[in-house]
Amino acid sequence: MTRTAITRQTRGDPGKIWTLEVSGIAKNYGATCALRNASLRLRPGKVHALLGENGAGKSTLVKIVVGAIQPDRGRIALNGVPTRFAGVRQAIAAGVIPIYQHLSLFPHLSVLENLSAFAIAGAAGLRARPALVPRATARAWLDAVGLDCDLDLPVERLSVGERQLVEIARGLGQRCTLLVLDEPTAALTHDETDRLFGVVRRLCAEGTAVLFISHKFDEIEALADDVTVLRDGVAVIDAEPLASLSRAELVRAMLGDMVESGERALPQPGAPMLIATGLMLGPAAGIATRPADITVRAGEIVGLAGLVGSGALELAAALAGARPVAAGTLAVRGETLPAGDRARAVAAGVGYVPADRHAEGLFGPLAALQNASSSTVALFSRGGLLRPGGEAAALMPWLRRLNLHPFQPERPAAGFSGGNQQKLLLSRNLAVPDLRVLVVLEPTRGVDIAARETIHDALVEAAGRGVAVVIASSDLDEVMALSHRILVVRHGSLDGELPRGTGRAALMDRLAGRRAA
């Protein structure tokens, strides 16, 4: 499979002083390449959008900019001066202020104490209390962001939007030259978002550069002046004026223009196996949703496709009972289950492979065999004691079928490559004796081509045995090659259905919110 990059790179004006100029940045974590040749150039007084799908390298690049991690190579300049921050505190002192989606406020402390956090951190021991900023100064900072609240009020009593403004106000008090906003509106209401954007525009009018990281195209188009798109650790669109690019071009740059792989022969679907009725994601998803009705038949593979932040992964997880929901019911082969109850879903034969195999799936220190058997360990136990012979007899064939490499079942799961770790999670589910539904998020993220083919074969074989399969993937070729039909997800809700054989261009248009005339 080959990939042809859509790359639109502009050359910097050698006489121009950028607020931030980043070039040739590379960062590796062992054998994993997070950034290969990333660049970023921000103009003073402008909002610069940084786009890219999960794994594109956005977070790594931002961490390098604010001094949280160090690059392996590359150049960073702030206002024309070569810079390499040794830590986040040094970046803040230089006027580079990061505001993350998960705020760094202290909820039990007062607004004034939170506004004084940087000063307190720089004070020593008994001098911490005098480091509180003067109340008049704190009030001026809040006025600058349009927030009127009691300085003595605990931050936990503020709304999420008000907390966001407190954090920005704290940053502005540090002589802000560059404001980094990482998914700042994920948990904000429409009114709170409007207020935040008003603050950003005022900052830009005063010459502050703003790096805006978001997946919401409507907000990007309303706020940003320039845009950089990362894909696979490379800037494929480099500091282009946003007005010169269509939404479809941005989506294509984010997702790539891969040669479409041939469709696989799929089994004929049977009777309905999984029925979701009125399913709505809970408030924890941070996405406003409409009720979704989804039916998946025995032997059918249904793909959920959506851009990062669309809610496709969350909706798929809800189908497996793996996340709380605001409303809705699930039924598996006629048995009604309470949505959001993973234990009941497991008992009903619903398998689940999460998107983050490290945080949610694997038991790293345990052996590969133990990881593979963790969903069926009760079958190999008697009187509370494990029967290793039964465990090996049941799981070894699956590990061989999925080509675990190296074939060392006693080796800790953490010692395998990403592709082989994914095989462990898949074998854990395929070994369930009465598997009826299998929900897989990002089936082949971070795996090599050989593992990808093996995993795809296993999913098609599962469907051939009558299992209802749901995949949610940011890999469009994967979704198109494996799915009987594709459900498009936008803003946490279904936004249409596309049949097998739909082309990449048509699918990308739907992901971007464009419908055929």
pLDDT digits (tens, 9 = 90+) for 345-387: 988 999 999 887 766 778 888 888 888 877 666 666 666 666 6
Q: With both helix axes pointing from N to C terminus, report the angle between 504-511 and 247-255 in degrees, rounded to the nearest 10.
A: 120
Q: Which position has the token pair 């931030």?
A: 20
Q: Which three-class secondary structure state does DSSP give residue 39?
A: strand
Pairing of strands 272-281, 226-231: unpaired
Model pLDDT, residue 283: 61
Residue 185 vs residue 408, higher pLDDT: 408
Tokens of 447: 């795996």
239, burial (CB in 10 Å: exposed 0-12, middle 13-18, buried 19+): buried
- Contact at 8 Å (CB) between 256 and 237? no
Pairing of strands 292-297, 468-472: unpaired
Q: How confident is the model at residue 284 (pLDDT cuts 50, 70, 90)?
A: low
Residue 289 vs residue 467, higher pLDDT: 467
499, burial (CB in 10 Å: exposed 0-12, middle 13-18, buried 19+): exposed
Model pLDDT, residue 223: 94
Query: Does the pLDDT value for residue 268 go beyond 80?
Result: yes
Q: Which three-class secondary structure state does DSSP give residue 128?
A: coil
Q: How confident is the model at residue 511 (pLDDT cuts 50, 70, 90)?
A: confident
Q: Which position has the token pair 């008049």?
A: 136
Tokens of 50: 């940084």
Residues 6+ apart with CB under 8 A from 470: 274, 296, 301, 302, 303, 304, 316, 319, 320, 437, 438, 439, 440
Q: How confident is the model at residue 288 (pLDDT cuts 50, 70, 90)?
A: low
**Cis bond upstream, residue 406 (ω within 30):** yes
288, burial (CB in 10 Å: exposed 0-12, middle 13-18, buried 19+): middle
Q: Which position has the token pair 């696979």?
A: 232
Residue 351 vs residue 125, higher pLDDT: 351
Least confident of 203-207, 299-303, 491-495: 491-495
What is the mean pLDDT of the segment spanning 449-468? Answer: 90
Model pLDDT, residue 5: 36
Domain 262-349+437-446+468-517 - what CATH class?
Answer: alpha beta
What is the mean pLDDT of the segment spanning 187-197? Answer: 75
What is the mean pLDDT of the segment spanning 110-132? Answer: 72
> Nearest Cα to 474, choosing from 253, 307, 297, 356?
307
What is the mean pLDDT of the segment spanning 447-463? Answer: 85
Query: Does the pLDDT value for residue 43 go beyond 90?
Result: yes
Q: Name residue 77's beta-bridge partners.
A: 21, 82
Least confident of 27-41, 120-134, 236-250: 120-134
What is the mean pLDDT of the segment spanning 250-263? Answer: 66
